[in-house]
Amino acid sequence: MRSLFTAVLAMTMVLFSVPPSAYACPLCKDALSKMGEVWTSLGFNWSIYFMMAVPFILVAAFTTALYFNYKKYRKR
């Protein structure tokens, strides 16, 4: 348990020591810096959020459908 805590602490320290410019691609960085000026940058950011969320939503929907079908046929 102690080694797990040490590993998590070390990973956290490494993640926070990386400069902020390494967290995003150049386009995202430019879009965030112009957030108050242009509505296009806001749309750009939301499109990235949706593109990142869709695979997780599809996997969750597929897994839920499998679970309920398994549960329905298990009762028979």
Residue 60 lies in a domain: yes
Judge contact between 34 and 45, C-beta under 8 A.
no
Q: Is the pTM of this model over 0.75?
A: no
Q: Dihedral of CA 27/32/36/40: which sign?
A: positive
Q: Who's near 48: CB < 8 A, 6+ residues apart? A: 28
Question: 7 by DSSP, 3-state: which?
Answer: helix
pLDDT tens-digit map of 6-60: 888 887 777 666 555 555 566 666 666 666 666 766 777 788 888 888 999 999 9
Q: How many domains does the chain have?
A: 1
Residue 17 lies in a domain: no
Residue 44 lies in a domain: yes
Residue 59 lies in a domain: yes
Domain membership of residue 49 as a residue range: 24-76
Question: 1 by DSSP, 3-state: which?
Answer: coil
* DSSP letter, residue 34: T
Residue 15 lies in a domain: no
Residue 32 lies in a domain: yes
Residue 9 lies in a domain: no
Residue 71 lies in a domain: yes
